[in-house]
Every structure is written in structure tokens, then in C-alpha cells.
Structure 1
């Protein structure tokens, strides 16, 4: 897909790109060759405001099939072939005639064109129409010596201008050439449609949909179990669920008594797994966390621990005041948290740990705990309930039999687990099929650089894990492509010290996403590509006399890149619209839309997404592709045939205004 980006953004991902600089008012089109910034096969600067575009050139050429020509561009051959208008010709109409002058009159009955040929014959064409204004002045265009008229441009029924080319160009032969090109392009577009349809069918398997719907229902049920009876803990519950499905760890920072350990215990109940909880101090010993040494193993001169019932045996663990642990515990924690393995004596064992929830009343100081801190991908500041939430909490509490410290029954066999290890595998398998657009990856990398400039270093491991978790979040929320809204999860992953960094991340993402939506929305993409085609024709017309000139070569390269960009855009938009249709049919538009924001706080999602973006007009995109492809194929012909076909496709190098 054609990427519309600011000219100052470094380009890393290969592919066609359209850049616009608000400072220079210039469009540039190019193709990125490598990861080096600004490495392009070519760059064509096309000024959008330095020259006045003629009305006929500011629009995509319209092929008129209706009676009457109100506004648009018409090939003169449409009249000579009898496809448009009623001819009154003496002598008989000659399709090879060369028209050198045209007069156009308009009245309430329609348009009347009087065309003079190079042999001084006159052909009159009557074009009946309704709605034409009464008694308009006669407009006339006349080609200069040695030229003939190839196109007529109308505006509000009146003749406005004409394009001219050399007399030696046979417009009849050129029209035959263009007809052949049009047939080839129609065949290519049919193949593209078929290919896009087959890809859409392949990517919309019913099995995936059934698995995903079941997973989403379980996620909703788990969310309810985690937040039941609590107020203002929806974000914490979602982060805990996301960490569980991604086999990651989460760190909650906040004062005591804010339901941090309660959420961890409930998560163990949700997954039906073993639970481990420990308050760490600087006096804690490894035996409290990893299990006591085995006396039987000591008799055999082996140093092993009995891990049953301790952290290496748990599915979900809660470590309170984790940063106060001593080095003996921390050294063992690092490998267990990241690789999910534990060195028990001379044996390295895999642990069943799905998620570790750590809590602390304050952040650490110094660099000695930075490695441990980096193991917790998700981080969140937990605040006490607001006044309104506290009032609602007390009302619910006093109205029922529940007590604040709910009992936790370790015997979970009597209850069916809502989310299990099998569901983790399903989620991660489905996530591997989700696309992560290149420009969104660019935003992630740019955010990483931005945070580094603000004394917050994002490790390579954190960057990789964040990308995978965002993709998983998009998948489990029902998407097949990561969107801008999913990037808002980075506010829980890319900060270290304080809330100011979180605010900076949100501002950065909102500004970048706003710019991306302005430059990369469906309407803007289509407008940008249409404008580029217009500018390519505008540059190529005057250069037709000098086909070896750099200007002509650059315009030709731009046309080739535009074709590929439009093809990519057509494929992605076709698949996107098919997916939206299938999702709507499967679960209803409102339900699918609501679940799409499952992971992201509603306020953040709305501030990113704004109003629903309208799908791209595939018919307009197809028309654009057809015009660009015809131009590209014409450029591949021999010099004479190319000159003739271009005279039809874009007109001659000159425009004559009607008088």
C-alpha cells in the first residue's frame, strides 16, 4: 500500500512511498530499497502549488458514456467513431480525419459541435441533453499549424479547452493501440480481483472464527470474575489477563490495600492453577521462595530443592515488595521470570509459570535492580479508589454477605477453569497470523528513540516482547491487523520512572497517530494517488517531445511505482473490507466494535480512533489503477507506438484554451 508520510520521517521498510512536505508544498514518490534512511530508487519532486493546473489536468480523465457532456474530458475519436453525438457529415464521416478546429454552441436542446478537418471538411455533431443552459456564447478552439486536436474539455456544458498533438500521429491507430492496452489492463485487473478474493477466502477460515469467539467469551467471563465487587480495577484486570495470555509478567505499583494481591489470587482461580504468594524483604531467604533443600539429595552429595508448593511449581505467583528481595533471590528470579526455567542443582527444569504478578509501594533507585525491572513487561500505577467509586464500593459491600478479604480456596478441582494453558496456545497461534503494518512498527521504533532521549532506555528484549504482545492483543480483540489503537498499550510497557513518562508516551502516540490518520486515511490515500497520477501526466505531457529526457524518465518511473502502490492498496483494502463484512455477519457490527476495544481503555481508544474511518471506494481505486496501468503499459511500447498511445491517454504536450 502506498504510504503517505511526512518527508522528515526516516524510511526503514522497503516498498513504495509517497511523501508530502508541508514546508515545501512538494509531493515526492519513491521506492525504498534498504533500511538506510532515504535510500530510494528514485525521487520525483512534483510541486503542488508552483504551477497553475488547468482544469482538465486537475481531474482524472473521464470517459463519457452518457448523452451530453457537462463536465469532463472527451477524446475527439469518440465523435469520429460515432460513439458520442449524432453526426451530420458532408462528405461522409472519416475516422482518420484530423480535427484542427472546433466550435461549440449550447442551448436548451443540447450541445452542437462544428469540427473542421485539416482538409477543410466540416463535421457537425449534435449532442442532445437535458439541463443545459440557454443561449450560451459560442466557444472555439483552434490548433496551431502542424497540430491536431486530440481531446476536448468541457466545464458546465461549455467547451473550455483542447489538447493538441502533431498531425503525423494517427489518432485512429492510436485508439486501436489504446483499446489493446485497455483489454490487457482489464485482464490484469480481473486476475487481481480473483487473487484478492481467493486470499480473502483463505484468510477467513471458520475454524479460526470459532476458536476466537470461544476465547473471547472466556476472556469476558474471566474479566467479570476478576473485577466482581471491585471498583476502578478494570484496567488492572485487563493487564493481568493480557499478561496471562502472553505468558508475561506484570508489575503493579501503588499503596497497600488496593487489591493487587486479590487480583492475583483471582487470576489463579480463573486459570485453575497452582498459586504462590510471598512477601519479600531483605531478610528473605531462597528457601522461602524456591523451596527447602532436599535432605535426601544431600545424602547423595547433591544440592537440590523440594520445589513442590513453591514458586517453581506455581502457575500464577504474587511477589509483594519484589524490589526489597536480596541478591540471592534476585539472581534466581531473573532466569525464571524470562526463560521460565529453574536451575535445581545440576538440572534445569521447565516451570509451569504462566504469569508473575509483582507489587511494590515504590520504585527502586539505582541500577542494580534494572535487570529485574526489565523482566516485567507490563507496568501500571494503581491508585486508591476515587470518592465516587468508594461510595459505590461501600454500597455494594454492605448490601451483600461478602467481606473485603474474601477466602481463597486452593481446591479448584470443583470449578472448571475459564482460561487454561490450551487457551494460551490458541491465542498465540492465532496471533501469529495477524499483520503488523510497517508504519506502525515505525511508530514503535520512533517512540523507543524518543524515550531514550528522555532518559528511558527500552531494551531490545522489551521492544520485541512489546510487539508480540500488541499483536496478541489485536488478535484476541478480533482484529486481523494491528491498528493505531493497539499501540496505546505501549503506555504500560515503555515507561520506567514516573507518571510524566506515561503522559509523554500518550502524547507522542496521539500526535503520530493523528498525523498518520491525516496522511494515511482511506480518502487521503486515494486522493494522494490520484493527485500523483495527475502530476505524472502533467510532467510527462511536455516531455513527450523528448522521450530521452530525465523528466520523462522520472515520470515513467513514478508511473510504475504508482501502479505497484495502487495494487498493494487494492489488495489490502479488498481484504480489509471482506474481513469487516465477515466480522459483522458473525457477531454483529456493534458487538465486534465493542470487543475491538477490549484491551485499551475506552478514553484512549476513542482519542486515537476518532470517528469511524470510511472504507475506500474500490470502484474509484479500480479506475485509478486502470489509468495508471494503461499509462505504464504504453510506456513499454516502441517509440512511435508509445507516442501515439500517449497522445490518446494523456493528450499532446499543449493545451489550447477556448475563446
Structure 2
């Protein structure tokens, strides 16, 4: 079966207008701008929102986990709820207080306005510190997108809940709760090679969100989610089954539930790449379902030959990081170079972006033989050469 674009499944944008996938890609890129090495967090939040799955972000304190989630949530719009959990956090702090007026009438109901049950995007920091009462109520909300407490039953609009922690829990009960989060991102401190970039970005004031980026993009997320639910997975099912067998044989724990739900990530990757039919190009998402940092590394190694052609137009950084494929690297360099060229042209003297333009040009020349350079990347390279060549 030939691959088709999302325009074949959904009402397309007006002529000349960006597609939903392009809108999300632009928003995610804007969220990551000014942050060093956190593009993956922003991209996987978007992937999971389209897939209808939840995400765990694990990393040491001070690694900008919270900031990355806040930025992408601000770009996507909608109602956002954030809370730092502790041992003594009461359920009312997340789900809303008892409605006293109803209580006087003998009815135990809850006021949920502005609280987690009515959020479109939620971020819960130190999620494993929550009490049993908090986690049990949260479990039902995450699984069914329905809030039930007392006599209150409310359909939740929650697209994604991002949970963050410094490390994975050792308690088996908490591990079972963590398993409800299909995708996981493990955040490490910025590597030494990028410390200069980190220091420079830390000196610059945080860039405000541009007015054009504050529009509510949840409609685009919902349309892409509908496209993902209708995505044709038949062409990739045999290869996906082979990949899952390999992971299990290599010792990567993949439960039946996680195996089935991994298809949601594959479908979301396909529609964010502009297609309604999944292919081997989308299998780069599979390491995200491995439960630990070590097992994710093992998953990448085990699936290396199956994902060596993976790439994604909207999620270029993450598809490259997880697949290590040449196609994904070309996609990322093409998009990074094009964005820097546009930024350079909008600056009075262009000096702030010149060094980054030169760095991208060096990476292109180091990673690709001129004869094998993909046409889109060759065009970007020509633009880079024009800008950085001596006058």
C-alpha cells in the first residue's frame, strides 16, 4: 500500500497554510529555542499528546525538566496544570475541594475548576512522592480520562500528563503505577562539549513566546490524534512484531499492554511525519517504551538494523537520538540549518547566529559525502556557505 499524507484523511489547511504537523513542529522548535539539549523532552511531549499516552521524565535536579515541559505546554496552549507533589499532598490540592454548598445538601461533590481534572496538559513533579490516595485517584484519571470522586464524575479533556522524578521508584507498588506511563525520557546533564553553549544561553534572558505562537494548538493536536487513530498500521505490523520479539529476547521487559500501546506511538510518529500509513520509518519510537535508561540503550542497539532508516520531519532531534540513522541526522541538520538561516536574516548584523551557522556547516561536511548529500540538505548547505563565506 502506498503512503498517503494526512491531507487524505483530514480536512486540509488553506492553500499555502502550514499543515497541523508543521504547526506542531514549529511550536516544539520554539519551545526548545534557548534550551541546550532539551529538544527531546519537548518533542516527546508532542508525540505523546498526539498518541494519547502519558510520559515520565527522569533526571537529576537542575536538568531543566520542568522548564522544558512548561515551554512546550505554553506553546501548545489550552489549560495547563502543574503541581509539586510531596508526602503530605492532599487529594484536594490536585483534584479540587469539596463543594460546601452541595455538602450542606448531603451530597459529596468536588469543585474541579482550574484543577487537574479539567486540564488539557498536566505536569506533576516528584510524582512518586504522592500518597496512596492521590495516586489511586490519579490512576483512574490517567487510564480512563474520567475523574471519579464522591458523587462527582467528570470526563477529563486531558491530552497528556507528564510525570517527573529524580529516579525511578524501587517500591513494586510504585513501579506498577509508573508502568501506566508508556513513554520515558531520561535526562542527563548537558555534556562537557556543549558547556560553552549552556553558559551562553544562561546569560541570555529567556525569550518571550512570540504572539503568533500563543494561539491554541490543541485543535491541531486533536486532529492529528484522530488521524493517528485512523492510521494504517498493517504495513508495519510484521516488522513491529519482529522488533518486540527482539526486545524481549534481549531482556528488555515489554508487557503485553506496553506492546499493544506501542502502536499508538508508531501511529503518532507517522501522522507527525505527514503520513496516514505507518512504515519502518516510524519504529524509532520503540526505545521510548523501555523502562530504564540502560534498557533504552539496549533497545537502540538491538533494533539498530530495523531503525537505521528512521526519520521524522516534526520530531527530528528525537528520531535521530533514538535511531542514530543517517536519514534522521540529515532531517535534523536540514531543519536546524534552515531555521538558523531564517534567524540570521532577521538580525541586524547576524553576528549572534554566525557561529552556530558555521557549526552546522561543519557537521554537514563531517557527516556526509558530497555525492550522497540529500537534495534538501544540499540546498541548506548552499545557503550556509553563502552566509559564512568571507566577503
TM superposition score normalised by structure 2: 0.73
1:283 maps onto 2:88 in alignment:
yes
1:504 maps onto 2:298 in alignment:
yes
Distance 1:274 1:324, change over 3 A: same
1:466 maps onto 2:262 in alignment:
yes
Distance 1:505 1:327, change over 3 A: same
Deviations 1:425-445 (A, max 9, x none): 344325523344242132243
CA deviation after TM superposition for structure 1 residue 367, in Å: 1.1
Q: CA RMSD in A?
A: 3.4
Q: What's the counterpart of residue 63 of structure 1?
A: none
Match of 1:221 among 26, 30, 35: 26
Where does 1:22-101 land on structure 2 (aligned, <5 Å)? none
CA contact (8 A) 2:266 2:278 kept: yes
1:378 maps onto 2:97 in alignment:
no
CA deviation after TM superposition for structure 1 residue 236, in Å: 1.1
1:445 maps onto 2:244 in alignment:
yes
Distance 1:476 1:431, change over 3 A: farther
TM superposition score normalised by structure 1: 0.45
CA deviation after TM superposition for structure 1 residue 264, in Å: 2.1
Distance 2:6 2:111 in 1: 47
Distance 1:449 1:293, change over 3 A: same
CA deviation after TM superposition for structure 1 residue 511, in Å: 4.7
CA contact (8 A) 2:227 2:276 kept: no
Deviations 1:580-633 (A, max 9, x none): xxxxxxxxxxxxx87286351257251698999xxxxxxxxxxxxxxxxxxxxx
Distance 1:506 1:607, change over 3 A: farther
Distance 1:335 1:286 in 2: 13
CA contact (8 A) 2:89 2:131 kept: yes
CA contact (8 A) 1:427 1:476 kept: no
Where does 1:508-547 land on structure 2 (aligned, <5 Å)? 508-511=302-305
Where 2:81 maps in the other structure, the secondary structure is strand
Match of 1:245 among 42, 50, 54: 50
Distance 1:206 1:287, change over 3 A: closer
Where 1:486 maps in the other structure, the secondary structure is helix
Deviations 1:540-577 (A, max 9, x none): xxxxxxxxxxxxxxxxxxxxxxxxxxxxxxxxxxxxxx
Where does 1:356-505 land on structure 2 (aligned, <5 Å)? 356-398=161-203, 400=204, 402-403=205-206, 415-417=214-216, 419-429=217-227, 432-435=230-233, 436-447=235-246, 449-450=248-249, 454=251, 457-493=253-289, 495-496=290-291, 498-505=292-299
Distance 2:73 2:30 in 1: 11
Distance 1:211 1:384, change over 3 A: farther
Distance 1:372 1:413, change over 3 A: farther
Match of 1:346 among 138, 151, 165: 151
Where 1:381 maps in the other structure, the secondary structure is strand
Distance 1:297 1:368 in 2: 35
Q: Unaligned regions of 5+ residues in structure 1, if any?
A: 1-198, 518-592, 613-659
Alignment length (residue pairs): 325
Q: What's the counterpart of residue 122 of structure 2?
A: 317
1:211 maps onto 2:16 in alignment:
no
1:595 maps onto 2:313 in alignment:
yes
CA deviation after TM superposition for structure 1 residue 324, in Å: 1.2
Distance 1:603 1:332 in 2: 33
Greater fraction of residues in helix: 2
Greater fraction of residues in strand: 1
Where 1:510 maps in the other structure, the secondary structure is coil
CA deviation after TM superposition for structure 1 residue 468, in Å: 1.9
CA deviation after TM superposition for structure 1 residue 509, in Å: 0.8
Q: Unaligned regions of 5+ residues in structure 2, if any?
A: 330-367, 373-391
Distance 1:204 1:251 in 2: 30
